[in-house]
Amino acid sequence: MREQFPERPFASRAWVSRWDLVLLPLVIGVFFFLAWAGSQTPAAVHTGGSASISLSPALLPLYALKSTLRMLAAIVVSIVFTLVVGNWAAKSRRAERILIPLLDIGQSVPILGFVSVALLWALKIFHNVILGAELAAIFGIFTSQVWNMAFSYYYSLKTLPKELTRAAAVFQLSRWQRFIRLELPHAMPQLVWNTMMSVSGGWFFVVAAEATTVSGHKILLPGIGSYIGVAIEHRDLGAIGWAIFAMFIVIMLYDQLAFRPLVAWAEKFKMHPTEGAEPTSWMLDLLRRSAFVEAVTELARQMLVRFRRSRMPRILRPQRERARIVRVSPRISETTWNIGLGVVSVVTVFFLARYIMRGTGVAEVGHVFLIGFYTLIRVIVLVFLASLVWVPIGVQIGLRPKLTSMAQPMVLFLSAFPANLLFPIFAFAILSWHLNPQIWLSPLMILGAMWYVLFNVIAGAQQIPGDLREVADSIGLKGWRRWRRLYLPAVLPAYVTGGLTAAGAAWNASIVAEIVSWGGHTIKASGLGSYIAVQTAAGNQPKLVLGIAVMIIYVLLMNRVLWVRLYRIAEERFSEA
Amino acid sequence: MSALIELRKVRKEFTGPERQPITVLDGVSFSLRENEIVALLGKSGSGKSTLLRIIAGLTPPTAGEVLYKEKPIRGTEPGISMVFQSFALFPWLDVFENVRLGPEAQALDAAEQRRRTLEAIDLIGLDGFESAYPKELSGGMRQRVGFARALVVEPDVLLMDEPFSALDVPTSETLRDDLLDLWRERKIPTRSILMVSHSIEEALLLADRLLILDGDPASIKAELPIRLTHPRDRNSEAFRALVDRVYAIMTRPAAPVVGPLAAMGIGRRLPSANVQQMLGVLDEVSEQSTSGKLELAALADELEMEVDEIFPLVEALELLGFATTEGGVLHLTDSGEAFLEADILERKVIFGRSLVERVPLARHITAAIEAEDDHRVSEERFLTELNEFFTDEEAERVLEVLVAWGRYAEIFAYDYDSGEFSLENPTAEEATD
């Protein structure tokens, strides 16, 4: 597989655009409002409705199934959201200007902190702990995976080849035909890849979201995540082993039965077929050759045709692409709209400031920024260390095709495996050997995230042209100089994509990694992640949202200042053409 | 004979980067009558594809009228179909599904869709390939799918945007002959064909009438009926005479640029010509004739170039004063001779002198660099100035051409990373490494 992890078309050229300035306060403001309103009338949270989890390994298949179903539900919601919002952003310029920065902010939101706010609301609305918790968990998984999918769909629509859209217009395709014959197929390879990446990243959140604490009450949803949570409480190393094993099986099945067949299938929709070996999947071959599957799809197709004939809604009828007369945009309403947004944002900032002053105080804000800085340092150091280790290894692997074809699936597997299942083992070790948690808890943040670096570097190194390597051989470019002149520049674009994803994942992971427990003991490192976790457990809404807001700001800043710049340099300097 | 399509004083403007209108077509009037094939010929960038898109209803004219069967065109019409230069096939659909797009859009019932699709596939000689994906087909077969897809909707008017230019010579010949057979034997219901082309020979082989588009903004510069009988022989006396005539028309100078800054002259569209190719042309002329004159048709033949490849070179040579054209014949000038005869370093000097003397934009840029204390000027400034005349894309293209010429002549240095022009030659970077 020669894919890379999702590329992110950045919203704006500048590192901060005026839309950020308007939208960021709005987003944080909405959080504040939700948290504030949610805490005004405390929901009837009682653990009575919460599931009780048995540590018997015999029940694990059932728990695994439930975790998987949660994932499935979230992905369905994500796909619907992607198609609607991506389409909207691509077709309306006004929507585009707001939605795209919003998606960018969205992917910087620390999901784990935010799930508890969602949970509070879900409980309020549904008055049913299990249902509310289910919905909040699914919502959390959804928010962890939807952004890059929506981005990729939007981007595909924006990059539809002009010739094809013209042909679609000349042959007067209906809206439905346009969608099903042109837009969706064109988006398919990227959409499938991003969806699969999202699902892989999502296992982490499934595990985390199944055991949440809200206002001091622990709420458990039956699944692998809650199973391991209970195992930690009981200090049951055996049960933890079983949970890791079960997850291993789940991820393997997912990899073989969903991920690989889908990626191989999406190959068909590529404008320019992959060079070299196409991704393959035994499952896909099986499906393609099976007479039963063929019969079922044919039946479905016929039913669809019949349905369409009987109804024939308007969007299915031939469409005359009305040549639109280019209008100079109505400036007055545009200005009004912009001013309106600006006013709303200023008002939000005002109320935010007042609320923070009263609820938490200025000192607290300063404190949160300070501990945010600690976490920032951790993320930077860890990504740096991970790069130091995995870039050379990744390049070496990528240069060897045989090794690559073995390593790639393994790395994909590792990136999907929820690292938080391994946390208790670390906690156990830190406690046993009396290690300093400030330092030794940090590696947990990067444990699941570093594979993104490795995977992308392998993919990048794979594409180093053979003739460049031959030139390097013939002029005797060796050692460090060879790395500096050939390998590092060649993998930089791929590395940036990987590093960006890894850093984002590390921020998210900090919420569960900076504070871990083992039985009655809780080990904590000071940082923004543990702050958010503590405030979540305590049900202190203003502080929780303050923590979330500060983390969004840090993540955005790091993306814009570091990664976007690197990305541009990589794009302009090191791409051919 | 009634007109199927009629254009009345069509003008097309694009909105420039500073919201100023940039006119690409102005005062274009002609009609497409029944039973004729019309070829639209023009240099690259002359707006011929834009004109075709206007007729297809893909983009509206800024002013003027386009009538189809005496009614104004307001969008794409079921009776007007199109074949694309790049084929524009949907790569994820097989041949059958690609061709079926039209009937499917017309919401015919399934059996009728199938019948029509198969008929079109048979007609164009694609039977047996129904289940093939475009990527499995050769270029020629792909364009056959393009034709089948356009013809399956039984259009009155078939528009073709350089349909053969992405194909190799034998393939395009076969496909052209097949199309001509279908047309002449009335196997297709199409009543009129309009083809955009950049190949004079191709246009003369197919068309009953030739329209030549030229100028900035472009308009119909000449109209030429072609009364040769089919099959046409490209080596016949009459055919060669027509080729020469078209070259003569196309090299006739177009109207000069008018505009506020036109006096400065930086708003001239520099042709995309590279110096090595210009030298190649000069070399060919001096080799072929001792008098330093050569017919453009012969030159194009000799260099195996099409109109849109050779005209930018000719234009650049004229602009730099290395050659002149008259009646389709290229003459080497004295400075052209000198340029050709010089050695590598002298050539740069001669080229640089011509460049600064004769190309206002080059003069403007060198003067601007001189005027700055640190002798550095950002490209943004020139792009902004060029934007008064051109779209973003065109401004970048023009500046790119000038950068290439200027670098060759060593009249300035340009740094890609910073986008800066400077006087100095690039200093040896990282000499310590």
The answer to whether the CB atoms of B58 and A318 lie below 8 A apart is: no
Tell me the chain B residues in contact with residue A161 when contact means C-beta distances shorter than 8 Å.
88
Query: What is the reported pLDDT for A439?
Result: 85
Model confidence pLDDT, tens digit, residues B179-222: 999 999 888 889 999 999 888 888 999 999 999 988 778 888 88
Flag whether A393 is in a domain: yes
Flag whether A52 is in a domain: no
The answer to whether the CB atoms of A170 and B81 lie below 8 A apart is: yes
Residues A564 and A472 in one domain: yes
B261, pLDDT greater than 70:
no
Residues A258 and A287 in one domain: no
Model confidence pLDDT, tens digit, residues A413-462: 888 888 888 888 888 888 888 888 888 888 888 888 888 899 889 988 88
Flag whether A128 is in a domain: yes
Contact B80, B53 (CB under 8 A): no
Side-chain-facing half-sphere of B104: CA atoms under 13 Å: 19
- Per-residue confidence band for A319, with pLDDT thresholds at 50, 70 and 90: low
Q: Which of A167, A273, A321 sits opposite B75 (nearest CB)?
A: A321
Average pLDDT of span A304-327: 54
Q: Which DSSP string corresponds to B253-319?
A: PPPPP-SGGGGTTTT-------HHHHHHHHHHHHHH-TTSEEEHHHHHHHHT--HHHHHHHHHHHHH
ipTM: 0.75
The two three-digit tokens of residue A124, written as one number: 């309020």
A235, pLDDT greater than 70:
yes
Say yes or no: do domains B3-251 and B275-422 share a fold: no
Specify which of A26-40, A258-272, B45-59 reaches the highest per-range mean pLDDT: B45-59
Query: What is the reported pLDDT for A26?
Result: 76
Pairing status of strand B413-415 against strand A211-214: unpaired
Asked if omega into B217 is within 30° of 0 (cis), the reply is yes
- Per-residue confidence band for A331, with pLDDT thresholds at 50, 70 and 90: low
The two three-digit tokens of residue A163, written as one number: 């010739």
Flag whether A456 is in a domain: yes
Helix (H) or strand (E) holding A522: strand A521-524
Mutate to test the interface with A, among B90, B112, B135 (most CBs of A within 10 A): B90
pTM of the full structure = 0.78
Residues A180 and A230 in one domain: yes
**CA A19 – CA B12 distance, rounded (Å):** 34
Mutate to test the interface with A, among B51, B58, B432 (most CBs of A within 10 A): B58
Q: How much is the mean pLDDT over chain B?
A: 86
**CA A67 – CA A72 distance, rounded (Å):** 9
Q: Which of A432, A443, A460, A425 is nearest to A525 (CA)?
A: A443
Residues A289 and A427 in one domain: no
The answer to whether the CB atoms of B56 and A324 lie below 8 A apart is: no
**CA B342 – CA A334 distance, rounded (Å):** 61
Q: Which of B88, B105, B109 sits opposite A173 (nearest CB)?
A: B105
* Chain A residue with Cα closest to B89: A164
Query: What is the reported pLDDT for A343?
Result: 84
Average pLDDT of span A508-522: 84
CATH code for the domain of A500: 1.10.3720.10
Residues A183 and A291 in one domain: no
Contact A172, B80 (CB under 8 A): no
Q: Would you call A166 an interface residue with chain B, using a CB distance cutoff of 8 Å?
A: yes
Side-chain-facing half-sphere of A235: CA atoms under 13 Å: 10
Q: Would you call A170 an interface residue with chain B, using a CB distance cutoff of 8 Å?
A: yes
Model confidence pLDDT, tens digit, residues A555-569: 888 888 888 888 877
Contact A231, A55 (CB under 8 A): yes
Which of these ranges, A465-469, B65-69, B278-282, has the smallest mean pLDDT? A465-469
The answer to whether the CB atoms of A161 and B88 lie below 8 A apart is: yes
Flag whether A355 is in a domain: no
Contact B157, B3 (CB under 8 A): no
Coil vs helix vs strand at A509: helix
Residues A234 and A185 in one domain: yes
Query: In chain A, pLDDT over 90 holds for what percent of residues?
Result: 11
Flag whether A353 is in a domain: no
Query: What is the reported pLDDT for B262?
Result: 45
Q: How much is the mean pLDDT over chain A?
A: 80
* Chain A residue with Cα closest to B83: A167
Neighbours of B362 (CB within 10 A): 23
Smallest CA–CA distance, residue B320 to chain A, in Å, is: 28
Pairing status of strand B3-15 against strand B21-33: antiparallel
- Per-residue confidence band for A42, with pLDDT thresholds at 50, 70 and 90: low
Q: Would you call A307 an interface residue with chain B, using a CB distance cutoff of 8 Å?
A: no
- For residues A156 and A12, the model is more confident at A156
Tell me the chain A residues in contact with residue B135 when contact means C-beta distances shorter than 8 Å.
273
Q: Which of B86, B105, B110 sits opposite A305 (nearest CB)?
A: B110
The answer to whether the CB atoms of A177 and B106 lie below 8 A apart is: no
Q: Would you call A316 an interface residue with chain B, using a CB distance cutoff of 8 Å?
A: yes
Flag whether A292 is in a domain: yes
**CA A245 – CA A447 distance, rounded (Å):** 18
Q: Which residues of B touch A (CB under 8 A)?
A: 15, 19, 53, 56-60, 73-78, 80-82, 84, 86-88, 90-93, 101-102, 104-107, 109-110, 133, 135, 149, 153, 417
Pairing status of strand B219-225 against strand B293-295: unpaired
Q: Which of B78, B107, B417 sits opposite A573 (nearest CB)?
A: B417
Contact A171, B105 (CB under 8 A): yes
Q: Going by CATH, does the domain composed of B3-251 fall within 3.40.50.300?
A: yes
Residues A302 and A234 in one domain: no
Which residue range(s) make up the domain with A289? 281-315
Residues A230 and A194 in one domain: yes
A50, pLDDT greater than 70:
no
The answer to whether the CB atoms of B60 and A305 lie below 8 A apart is: no
- Token match 């993104």: residue? A452
Smallest CA–CA distance, residue A312 to chain B, in Å, is: 9
Query: What is the reported pLDDT for A137?
Result: 87
Residues A558 and A464 in one domain: yes
* Chain A residue with Cα closest to B19: A328
Query: In chain B, pLDDT over 90 holds for what percent of residues?
Result: 27
Residues A303 and A399 in one domain: no
Number of domains, chain A: 3
Residues A436 and A458 in one domain: yes
Q: Where are the domains of chain B?
A: 3-251, 275-422
The answer to whether the CB atoms of A170 and B15 lie below 8 A apart is: no
| CATH tag for B275-422 (out of 2.30.33.40, 3.40.50.970, 3.10.129.10, 1.10.10.10) | 1.10.10.10
The answer to whether the CB atoms of A177 and B91 lie below 8 A apart is: no
Residues A248 and A294 in one domain: no
Smallest CA–CA distance, residue B332 to chain A, in Å, is: 35
The answer to whether the CB atoms of A171 and B84 lie below 8 A apart is: no
Query: What is the reported pLDDT for A305?
Result: 65
Average pLDDT of span B253-280: 69
- For residues A11 and A50, the model is more confident at A50
Task: Name every residue whose Cβ is closer than 8 Å to that of residue A12 and which is 6 or more positions away in sequence.
Answer: A19, A20, A101
Report the alpha-carbon angle A255-A259-A261, nearest 5: 110
Query: What is the reported pLDDT for A516?
Result: 85
Average pLDDT of span A367-371: 92
A with B: how many residue pairs have Cβ under 8 Å apart? 98
Flag whether A34 is in a domain: no
Which of these ranges, A70-84, A518-532, B121-135, B139-153, has the smallest mean pLDDT? A518-532
